[in-house]
Amino acid sequence: MLSRDEMRRLLLARGPEQEQLFAESRRARNEHFGAAVVLRGVIELTNVCRVNCDYCPMRRDNVRENDTYFLAADKIVELAGLIRDNGIDVILLQGGETPALMPLLEEVIPRIRALYDDRVEILLNVGNLKRAQYERLKAAGATSYILKHETSDPALHLSLRHETLESRLRCMRDLQEVGFKVGTGLISSLPGQSLDSIIDDIELAGELGVDMCSVSPFIPAPNTPMSIAPIGDNELALNVIALLRLRYPQLLIPSVSALERVGSGGQSRGLDAGANVMTVNFSSAADQKRYLIYGKDRFVVTLDHVRGLVRSSGLELGGSRFIEQPLTSGVAA
C-alpha cells in the first residue's frame, strides 16, 4: 500500500513518472475488469435544488433567475426507451435535490424496469434524503445511488455546501444499509483544498466501502460565489483517478465530462489513467442547456463521442456490473 508521502508525490507526477503511474493503474483495471467500459445513459430530471453550493449554478439562490424545469413521467420513460434501444442497461436519473422528485421517481422507476424486463440498473443521483425515502426508492426498483462527498475536509465542505460532511456520510451509510450499491466522488483543485485533503478523500472511499468513486476537476461557474476562482488542474484529477484505481482496483471510476470541459481529450486521458465508466447524455437539447451543472458552456457527451474514445483506447463498451443479466446487445455497434 502506498504511503501518504508516496501518494503526495504521485499526485504531482508529470511526464514519464505520470505515464508509469497511468500504466500501472490501467494494468490494475484490466486485471479486475478486463477491457469492458461500463456505459451509462443519463436523464436530467430537474434543475431545481434546495441546496446552496457555492460552486453550482443550480444553487438555491439562483432558482428564480434560472429557467427551471421538471421532466414529466412520460418523457422520462420515453428517454429511457431510447437508452434501451441503444443497448445501454444503466440508466442514471439525476437532478437537483428537491423533495418534489420522490413521487416522480416512485412512478417512473417501475415503468423503466418494465421496459427492460427487469434487466436494468437504475442509478440515482438526487441528493440527501431520509432513510425512509431511500427505502421507498429501493422498493420501487432502484439499484444504485451516487452521493458525492465532494471534499472530506469538514470545514471546507461546510463552507462550500453550507451543510455538514457528517450529514452526507450518514446518508451514504443509510443507503448501504438499505441495500444500494453506492458511489461517492470528489472535486479536485477546490480553492482551499490541500494535497493532504485529497489523500483523505482517497482514503475515505476505502473507509466507506463504496462501489463507485468519481473525480471531477473544479470548474468555476458563472453566477456563483466561486465564479472567479481558477479552473481546476486536469493533471491532478487524472492522478487522483490513477491512485484510486491502484488503491481500490474493484471500484467503478468514471471518466467524467468535466475532464473534457477543462481540456480537449480529457476524457480519453481519464481512460488512460484507469477509469472504466462513461456516461452519455440523453436529455433533450433544450434541457441540456437548462441543466447548468457547469454553466451554459458544459461539454455534453454523445454516444458517438464515447464509442470513438473507447475504441481508440483499445477498450470495449460493456454493461452493468450490478445486475445478473446485463443487456449489452448493440452497445458496441
Could you read off the pLDDT of 130-141 as tens digits, one per residue?
A: 999 999 999 999
Cα–Cα distance between 222 and 25 in angstroms, integer? 35
| pLDDT of 27 over the 90 cut | yes
- Going from the C-alpha of 140 to that of each of 137, 324, 326, the distances in angstroms are 5, 18, 20
**Is 56 known to sit in a ligand binding site?**
yes
60 is in an annotated binding site: no
Tens of pLDDT, residue by residue over 66-105, are 888 899 999 999 999 999 999 999 999 999 999 999 999 9
Q: Is 168 annotated as a binding residue?
A: yes
Phi, psi angle pair for 14, to nearest 5°: -140, 165
pTM, rounded to two decimals: 0.96
Provide the mean pLDDT of the chain: 95
For the domain with range 4-316, which CATH number is right: 1.20.1250.20, 3.30.1490.190, 3.40.50.920, 3.20.20.70?
3.20.20.70
With left for phi above 0 and alpha for psi between -120 and 50, is residue 233 left, alpha or beta? beta
| Degrees to nearest 5, angle at CA 40 with 36 and 41 | 150
pLDDT of 175 over the 50 cut: yes
| pLDDT tens-digit map of 194-251 | 999 999 999 999 999 999 999 999 999 998 999 999 999 999 999 999 999 999 999 9
Residue 279, annotated ligand binder?
yes
How many angstroms separate the CA atoms of 114 and 65, rounded? 38
Helix (H) or strand (E) holding 41: strand 36-44
Query: What's the grid cell of residue 127?
Result: 441528493
pLDDT grade for 329, boundaries at 50, 70 and 90: very low
Going by C-beta distance under 8 Å and a sequence separation of 6 or more, which residues neighbour residue 106?
A: 136, 137, 140
Amino acid letter, residue 65: E
Structural contact between residues 322 and 181, judged by C-beta atoms closer than 8 angstroms:
yes
Q: Are 127 and 164 in contact (CB under 8 A)?
A: no
Which residue matches cell numbers 465564479?
227
- Is residue 46 annotated as involved in ligand binding? no
- At 92 the three-state DSSP class reads strand
d(CA 124, CA 105): 9
| CA–CA dist 307, 210 (Å, integer) | 27
53 is in an annotated binding site: yes
User: What is the rounded distance in angstroms from the CA atom of residue 53 to the CA atom of residue 294?
Assistant: 12
* Confidence (pLDDT) at 296: 66
Report pLDDT for 67. Answer: 86
Residue 310: its pLDDT value, please? Answer: 98
